[in-house]
Structure 1
Amino acid sequence: MGRPADTPDLAGRIARLEAIEEIKALKHRYLRACDAKDPEAFRACFVSSGASIDYGALGTFDDADGIVEVFKRIALQKVDGKNVILDMHHAMHPDITVHDANRASGRWTLKFRQVNLLNDTETVSTGEYDDEYVVEDGRWKISKCHFHRYWAITRPIGEDCRIDR
C-alpha cells in the first residue's frame, strides 16, 4: 500500500519525482540532438569532463569529447549538401533510481533506425542504455552512458524505395 499523502517526507518524495522528470527530459534532449545532428546539444547533455562512455562498436571513451567526434564523423556526413546518415532514436521504458539530491542511475531501452544512403541500407536495432547522472551547475547531466546492443537487422534499400528529405 502506498504512503499517505501527508507523511513527513512529502517534500523528499516530490523532489525525487522532479529529479526523475528532469532526467527524462535530459535523455530526450540527448536523443533529439542525435537525430537533429546537433553536436553542441549532444555534448551539453554530458558532464563537462570525465564521463564514462561505452557505445560498443562505436568506441569507449573517458570523456564525452571523444564520442562527439565520432558523432560528427558519422552523423554529419553530407553528399551534395544533404545528410546521408538518417537516424531515429526512441528510448523507452525508463527505470530511474534517484540515489540522493545529486546522483541517480537509469536504464532505458532503445529502438534505433538508421538509413545509410552511402551504403543504401536500412538498419533497425535495439539495446539497453545503462546510465548514471549527476547534478552539475544545477542541472542533471549524464556521467556514464553504456550501451549494449541486443540485436540488429540490416537490409538493402531497393531502387523502388523513395526517401524524402
Structure 2
Amino acid sequence: MPSEPAPPSSSLAERVARLEARQEIEELKYRYLRACDHKDPEAFRACFIREGADIDYGELGTFATVDDLVTLFERIALARHNEGHLVLDMHHGVHPEITFLSSTEATGRWTLRFRQLNLAEETERVLCGDYDDRYVVEDGAWRLAKHHFRSLWSLTRPLPKGYVVDEGAHL
C-alpha cells in the first residue's frame, strides 16, 4: 500500500504501477541490507546509481563516490582473522515510508535495527537509526541516489568470557 493516498484521478493501471514500484524499492533495500550482511561488495555496489550518489553514513563519513564507499565496505566487512571475519553484522530495515515524486523518482525513510560483533575488539554493538533515501530509475531498475544514515542510539558491550562464534561455511 502506498504511503500517500493515490490521487482521486489515478487509474487502476497507475495505482498498480505504483504498488509494483514500491515493491521494487523495498526489494532494492533488502538486497542492500543482505549484501551488507553477506559481505558481498558487488551486490552492495549494484544497489547504487553509477555516478553522483549523495552518501552520508554519519560516524563512518560522507563519500564523494559510491566506489569510495565500496572500498570502505571491503576494508571493514572483508577483514579476516584465523578462520573467520573480524566483523559480523546483522541489518534489519523496518518501517518503510516511501513517497513517489514521479514514476522514476521516490524518497524513502527506514528504521535500521543493527547488531554487530567486532571480534577484534571483542565487543557487541546494538544500534537503532534512520535511513533517509532517494531512489531513481537507472537502466530500468530502481537504485539508491541518496543514502543518508543517522544513528538514534547505540550500545556497545564486551562479549562474554568464553564466547564462541560459528560463522558457517557459506561466508
Shift of 1:9: 1.1
SS in 2 for 1:96: strand
Shift of 1:8: 5.9
Q: Which residue does the alignment assign to 1:95? A: 97
| Superposition RMSD in Å | 1.4
Shift of 1:101: 1.1
Q: Which residue does the alignment assign to 1:141? A: 143
Q: Which amino acid aligns with 2:95?
A: H
Counterpart of 1:47 (choices 46, 49, 52) is: 49
Counterpart of 1:25 (choices 10, 24, 27) is: 27
Q: Which amino acid aligns with 2:11?
A: D
Counterpart of 2:121 (choices 98, 119, 122) is: 119
Name the TM-score, length of structure 2 as normaliser: 0.90
SS in 1 for 2:114: strand
In structure 2, C-alpha distance between the alignment counterparts of 1:86 and 1:101, rounded to whole Å: 37
What are the Cα deviations for residues 39-97 of structure 1, in whole angstroms up to 9, with x where unaligned? 01000000001100000111101321111111011111101241110000000000001
Gaps of 5+ in 2: none
- The 1:109/1:8 distance shift into structure 2, 3 A limit, reads closer
Gaps of 5+ in 1: none
Shift of 1:160: 3.0
Q: Which amino acid aligns with 1:106?
A: G
What are the Cα deviations for residues 84-115 of structure 1, in whole angstroms up to 9, with x where unaligned? 10000000000001111110000000000000
Q: Which amino acid aligns with 1:80?
A: N
Q: Which amino acid aligns with 2:125?
A: T
For the 8 Å contact 1:92–1:110, the answer to whether it is kept is: yes
Q: Which residue does the alignment assign to 1:34? A: 36
Shift of 1:162: 2.2
In structure 2, C-alpha distance between the alignment counterparts of 1:8 and 1:53, rounded to whole Å: 33
In structure 2, C-alpha distance between the alignment counterparts of 1:95 and 1:112, rounded to whole Å: 19
What are the Cα deviations for residues 105-134 of structure 1, in whole angstroms up to 9, with x where unaligned? 000000000000000000000000000000
In structure 1, C-alpha distance between the alignment counterparts of 2:10 and 2:128, rounded to whole Å: 42
Q: Which amino acid aligns with 1:112?
A: F
Q: Which residue does the alignment assign to 2:130? A: 128
Name the TM-score, length of structure 1 as normaliser: 0.94
Q: Which runs of 4+ in 1 moved over 3 A?
A: none
